[in-house]
Amino acid sequence: MVCFSPQNKCSETIKDFLDKAKNSIQICVFTISDNSITKQIVQCFERGVNIKIITDNDKQYDRGSDISYLAGKGIDIKVDMTRHHMHHKFAIVDNNALLTGSYNWTRSAEKYNQENLIITNNSEFIRIFKNEFENLWKQMTELS
């Protein structure tokens, strides 16, 4: 599946993708400030889905950022304290579906930006992104 914004509702695509999770979601994004996506993440967590999020350390303090809210709900979050910015935008559901693209998980991406998303079940792509997530998870710092 492919989605483009602003003409498509990419936030709906993300929410539908996350809602399919039965066991696990790994999210690696620059920031999350779209409240509807945040609500979907919390709903998944509350029904027992194991969720891990990696994000950029600076973005947790941005006005409208939902990162601290998600951490307050008990979701495992790590931040990039390296000299680099965490600028990935991908998520893996149940180790069998991958969502990736340029789309930031923000309100402005939905309304004002030319963005793209792709969802794939390609096992090789999923394996590569899962390895990247696991390597980053080891390097990142727990949100405090």
- The count of C-alpha atoms lying within 13 angstroms of the C-alpha of 55, restricted to the half-sphere facing its C-beta, is 24
Q: 134 or 143: whose pLDDT is higher?
A: 134
Euclidean distance between CA atoms 35 and 109, whole angstroms: 13
Euclidean distance between CA atoms 143 and 57, whole angstroms: 8
**Beta strands per DSSP E along 43-140:** 50-56, 76-80, 89-93, 97-101, 115-120
Number of domains in the chain: 1
- The C-alpha angle with vertex 20 and arms to 105 and 49, in degrees rounded to 5, equals 85
**pTM of the predicted model as reported, rounded to 2 decimal places:** 0.96
Question: Which residue range forms the structural domain that includes residue 76?
Answer: 2-142
**Beta strands per DSSP E along 30-96:** 50-56, 76-80, 89-93
Active site positions, annotated: 87, 89, 94
Structure tokens at 22: 């039965």
State the CATH number of the domain containing residue 10: 3.30.870.10
pLDDT band at 14 (very low <50, low <70, confident <90, very high): very high
Instruction: Give 98's DSSP letter.
Output: E
Span 59-81, pLDDT tens digits: 777 888 999 999 999 999 999 99
